[in-house]
Copies of this chain bind each other. A is one copy, B any other.
Amino acid sequence: MKPFCAAVDWGTSRFRLWILAEDGAVIHKLSSDEGLQFSAKIGFSKILEDHLNSFKCLNDLPVIICGMAGSRSGWKEANYLKAPVELTHIVENSVKIANTKRDIRILPGIAQHNANSPDVMRGEETQLFGMLFDKSNIVPTGTTTFCMPGTHSKWVTFENTRLQQFATFMTGELFALLSEHSVLKLSLSEHGVSNPTDPVFLKYVNKALSNPHEISTQLFSIRSSHLLGFTGLEAGHAALSGSLIGLELAGAFSKHGKPAHVTLMASGSLGDLYAAALKECNVEVTFCDAENAGRIGLYQAAKILW
């Protein structure tokens, strides 16, 4: 197959590259640790060109990029678009890298530009844009809510295909910090995982949902509960992830009201945990392919540009 473009999701910690054919099929792909901080030192152009050379790409193969490469500390700043916004605007507002032999564009992120609830995304807008074109998904009509779990989970509200508002929750980062670096580490089994059907997980989801203001003491209670013999080490992970996902739901529901239905852009065990927590609150859940949405979004942007 003849390459049509290269698509790059250049995140804080990960670099993902796909060489795509005219019809969107994947010819080559790679994933590495060459995220923002690494790349800023080595040079964005060098990293990209080295990979394209290794795939024997022609000098004029165009490249479409999303993510942190477009941040102020990235390759070239692609200014945030202001929400509410139609997602197609990310394509029109892509930023061109100057003085390069090939056409290289970076897609902008989206910002909620008000002092009371400021928020930003970079990369998720491209996943959402891809979701609109993925034939396996239903195109959103009316008011719809998307949940994108992760290090910094995003809750996004659409009005048809227009992104209206969104909120970021530090759930994944808090989980990593608390499970690896806090006193709670002593009450978590080393290779523990959370299981969506575990009653401990659901109990802590409910605790955080009913009393989110007590989260800071609920978290410490994971330690106390273990020290006093009420729970074992194996319950720690479930209690911690239940608490933090419950807190996220409490915040998301209060920001935009509790939706009857949420589209969950997640896969694997994290998606299962969120689905179980949402079902516990009587929210209907539809899964939506998160893994391919970014690549599809980049491809659709490339099709519009070239």
Contacts and interface: CB of A to CB of B under 8 A. Distances in A.
A45 to B, nearest CB: 24
A220 B119 contact: yes
A224 B177 contact: no
A217 B251 contact: yes
A contacts with B: majority SS: helix
A118 interface: yes
Interface in A211-268: 211-217, 219-221, 223-225, 227-228, 230, 244, 247-248, 250-251, 254-255
B177 A228 contact: no
Nearest to A254: B213
A220 to B, nearest CB: 4
A171 interface: yes
B178 A119 contact: no
Interface residues of A, number: 46
B254 A220 contact: no
Contacts of A254: 211, 213-214
A169 interface: yes
A247 B169 contact: no
Interface stretch (A26-34, A52-60, A109-117, A274-282): A109-117
